[in-house]
Amino acid sequence: MIDHVGINCHDWARSQEFYDRVLGVLGYTRQLDYGVAIGYGRDGRPDFWIADASAGNADGPNREVHCAFRAADRDAVQAFYDAALALGAESLHAPRVWPEYHPGYYGAFVRDPDGNNVEAVFHDAAAV
């Protein structure tokens, strides 16, 4: 069900030190580091993300929680997106391939009624 989750951190330096250490003792390491967001996991797959809450985006500071749900295929990603919009959700990103994450990463992002960033994602192994 859950593909990955991300939280926002207000003390960026301290949070990095904290998660590097506490996740490190569990065998998890930094898998991706974008400077303002770090993905932790194993074997090249980030499952847990932290982000710098003070890093701005088009809407101002980054403060919402992010949760991504696994989808069975691209059609399921589209259905998720369509259902969310029909319920009045704000579109953050229409379904598309996100090669900056990895080849075959197909996802759509919406804002839920509480302002959280919710995603459906399909990892298309055939596209890799």
Domain residues of the chain, as ranges? 1-53, 64-128
Distance, C-alpha 15 to centroid of its chain: 18
**Residue 107: CA atoms inside 13 Å, Cβ hemisphere, count?**
23
Distance, C-alpha 55 to centroid of its chain: 15
In 1-128 the beta strands, taken as DSSP E runs, fall at 2-9, 29-33, 37-42, 45-52, 56-57, 60-61, 66-70, 90-97, 105-111, 117-123
Q: Which CATH superfamily is domain 1-53 in?
A: 2,3-Dihydroxybiphenyl 1,2-Dioxygenase, domain 1 (3.10.180.10)
The three-class DSSP label of residue 39 is strand
Architecture of domain 64-128: Roll (3.10)
The tokens describing 61, both together, are 């500071």
pLDDT tens for the chain, 128 residues long, are 999 999 999 899 999 999 999 999 999 999 999 999 999 999 999 999 999 988 865 555 556 789 999 999 999 999 999 999 999 999 999 999 999 999 999 999 999 887 889 999 999 988 76
Question: What pTM was computed for the model?
Answer: 0.81
